[in-house]
Structure 1
Amino acid sequence: MRSTTRSASRKAAASSMVAAAALALVGFQAAGQTASAATPKAASVVTCTAANTALTVTDVPRPINHLLLKATNTGTKPCFAYSAPLLRAGADAQAPVAWADETTPQSVVTLEPGQSAYAGITTNSPDGEGGSTEKTLGVIFVDKKGNGTAQEKTLKLPNGGVFFNGSAVVTYWQDNPADALAW
Structure 2
Amino acid sequence: MRIRRTSPLLALTALTALALTACDNGTGVQDEGASQPASATRAQPAPGADGSTGTGTSTGTGAIPAKSTTDPKGSSGSTDSTASTGGTGGKPAGGTGAGTSGKASGKANTAVGATRVLCNGSNTAVTAQTVVRPLNHMLLTVTNTGSRTCDLTYYPVLRFDQMQWAPQAAEETQPQAVTTLAPGESGYAGVLLSAADGSGDGGTTARKLTVAFQGYTPNSDGGASATPSLPAKGVYYDSSLTVTYWQQDRDDALSW
TM-score, length basis structure 1: 0.78
Match for 1:86 among 130, 146, 157? 157
Tell me, yes or no, if the aligned pair for 1:86 and 1:148 is still in contact at 8 Å: no
Q: CA RMSD in A?
A: 2.2
- CA-to-partner distance for each residue in 1:73-113, whole Å, 9 max, x for gaps? 11111111000011002x22111122111111101111111
Aligned twin of 2:251? 178
Matched residue, 1:14? none
Aligned pair 1:112/2:147, yes or no?
Answer: no
CA distance in 1, matches of 2:222, 2:233: 28
Larger radius of gyration between Structure 1 and Structure 2: 2
Q: In structure 2, list runs of 5 or more residues that go unmatched.
A: 1-91
Partner of 2:199: 127
> Separation in 2 of the partners of 1:53 and 1:162?
23
Q: How far apart are the structure 1 equivalents of 2:165 and 2:251?
A: 27
Deviates more, 1:132-141 or 1:143-152: 143-152
Q: How far apart are residue 123 of structure 1 and its match?
A: 0.3
Deviation at 1:39, TM superposition (A): 1.8
- Alignment deviations for residues 111-162 of structure 1 (CA, whole Å, 9 cap, x no partner): 1111111000000002211110111111011101131334222222125211
The farther-off stretch of 125-134 and 37-46 is 37-46
The CA deviation at 1:182 is 0.7
Deviations 1:8-41 (A, max 9, x none): xxxxxxxxxxxxxxxxx87997986875553233
SS in structure 1 opposite 2:227? Answer: strand
Identical-pair percentage? 39
Q: Aligned residue for 1:143?
A: 215
Gaps of 5+ in 1: 1-24
Corresponding position: 1:100 with 2:173: no
Which residue identity lines up with residue 58 of structure 1 in the other structure? Q
The partner residue of 1:53 within 108, 120, 124 is 124
> 1:12 maps to which residue?
none
Any runs of at least 4 consecutive aligned residues in structure 1 with deviations exceeding 3 A, and if so which?
Answer: 25-38
Could you tell me which residue of structure 1 aligns to residue 108 of structure 2? Answer: 38
Output the CA distance in 2 between the equivalents of 1:176 and 1:32: 37
**Closer/same/farther in 2, CA of residues 34 and 105 from structure 1, 3 Å limit:** farther
Query: Could you tell me the TM-score, scaled by structure 2's length?
Result: 0.57
